[in-house]
Amino acid sequence: MCAHTEVCISKEKLCDGKWDCYDGSDEDLRGICAGNFSCGKDEFRCDSMTCIPEYLVCDGRADCEDRSDEKWTVCRGGN
């Protein structure tokens, strides 16, 4: 159910990167999505809850929309 309305959405639409609730509550990155979101093998989970190929992490170019793939805390042991 969307946070501020009585609209129900299917489980598949939760945390899928698209707003199905008018307020985006189905994509709440700090709430419901934080624990439910995972990436596939050989993928990096961006802080913005998207996935990129692992080989793009710490390559000197931000590939996550939030630049989390180039953060010092991520890259300090990498390239």
Domains of the chain from N-terminus onward:
1-37 (4.10.400), 38-79 (4.10.400.10)
Q: What is the pLDDT of residue 61?
A: 96
Q: Are 36 and 49 in contact (CB under 8 A)?
A: no
Residue of 18 and 56 predicted with greater confidence: 56
Residues 39-58: what's their mean pLDDT?
A: 91
Most confident of 8-12, 27-31, 43-47, 56-60: 56-60
Q: Hey, what are 15's tokens? A: 């945390």
% the chain with pLDDT above 90: 34
